[in-house]
């Protein structure tokens, strides 16, 4: 069942007078992994943060255009609702250092003041941690602080925290750039599992990662969406010469 879940229409983002994302039109299919790649400063992270309205938290940042989530424009919705439906995982693992592993997973409920019965909380914690393949590693130390885990485990904890809110879309902003190679491949394996239940959009500097994990790839260059196609197509026969130059490393 193929269907569009996120669709941007003439999306533009600015930092003050600096036009960083220019007229991006993209359609993202449900239950796929979309990789967004491009050189530094090409606006890919800004675009990603625009999808769940995190962009505008930065002073001086503004955006124009539409981003449709299931046909509803997120620019018209309250950011808090948007962020409940579109989860985000960041570059550096950032579990809440004052909370236990258990509380970190249900942080979205606990810190938002949503009261749940204990049994339901237990269920959410176990399900979320299982989905990120962390349950077996931490089930005996749920009361320990999140910062006791290794970097890769912390990042999976952060993914579990986003997953616990049952969002429709998960955004990843260079999720493995602070991790070692082994943790990186664990997280990459996770993407294949996660896409069964969620739609994933991943910003990455690492072309190989984009190639390995994604179904579709978008290539951004100086704020423009240059090419958006199946990953296989993109890496064997890109249409745009700029994409070809970028993925072959002939970029000046």
Q: How far is the CB of 86 from another protein (least distance, A)?
A: 9
**Of the candidates 34, 45, 52, 204, which one interacts with another protein according to CB under 8 A?**
52
Tokens of 93: 């693992």
Backbone angles phi, psi at 175, to 5 degrees: -70, -15
Does residue number 135 form part of the binding site for another protein (CB under 8 A)? no
Tokens of 160: 């579990």
- Within residues 168-227, the interface with another protein by CB under 8 A covers 185, 188-189, 192, 208, 211-213
Contact string (CB under 8 A) for another protein, positions 224-243, x = contact: -------xx--xx-------
Q: How far is the CB of 23 from another protein (least distance, A)?
A: 26
Report the C-alpha gap between 108 and 6 in whole angstroms: 22
**Of the candidates 108, 152, 175, 223, which one interacts with another protein according to CB under 8 A?**
108
Strands (E), 40-198: 61-69, 72-73, 86-89, 169-173
Does residue number 51 form part of the binding site for another protein (CB under 8 A)? no
SS3 content of the chain, % helix, strand, coil (to 5): 40, 30, 35
Backbone angles phi, psi at 245, to 5 degrees: -60, -40
**Diameter over CA atoms, the chain:** 58
Which one, 114 or 241, has the nearer CB to another protein? 114
Q: How far is the CB of 171 from another protein (least distance, A)?
A: 8
Report the C-alpha gap between 55 and 136 in whole angstroms: 36
Positions touching another protein (CB under 8 A) are: 52, 54, 57, 59, 79-84, 87-88, 90-92, 94-98, 107-108, 111-113, 145, 147, 158, 161-162, 165, 185, 188-189, 192, 208, 211-213, 231-232, 235-236
């Amino acid at each position: 069942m193929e269907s569009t879940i996120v669709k941007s229409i003439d999306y533009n983002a600015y930092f003050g007078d600096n036009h960083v994302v220019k007229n991006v039109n993209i359609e993202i299919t449900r239950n796929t992994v979309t990789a967004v790649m491009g050189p530094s400063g090409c606006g890919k992270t800004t675009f990603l943060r625009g999808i769940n309205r995190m962009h505008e938290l930065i002073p001086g940042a503004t955006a124009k255009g539409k981003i449709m989530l299931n046909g509803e424009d997120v620019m018209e919705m309250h950011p808090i609702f948007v962020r409940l439906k579109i989860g985000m995982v960041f570059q550096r693992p950032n579990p809440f250092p004052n909370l236990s592993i258990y509380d970190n997973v249900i942080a979205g409920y606990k810190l938002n003041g949503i009261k749940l019965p204990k049994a339901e909380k237990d269920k959410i914690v176990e399900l979320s941690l299982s989905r990120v393949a962390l349950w077996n590693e931490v089930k005996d130390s749920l009361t320990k602080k999140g910062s006791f885990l290794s970097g890769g485990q912390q990042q999976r904890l952060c993914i579990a925290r986003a997953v616990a809110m049952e969002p429709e879309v998960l955004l990843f902003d260079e999720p493995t750039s602070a991790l070692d190679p082994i943790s990186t491949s664990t997280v990459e394996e996770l993407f294949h599992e996660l896409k069964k239940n969620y739609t994933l959009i991943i910003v990455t500097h690492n072309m190989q990662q984009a190639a390995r994990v994604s179904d579709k790839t978008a290539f951004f260059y100086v704020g423009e969406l240059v090419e958006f196609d199946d990953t296989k197509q993109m890496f064997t026969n890109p249409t745009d010469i700029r994409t070809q130059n970028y993925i072959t490393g002939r970029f000046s």
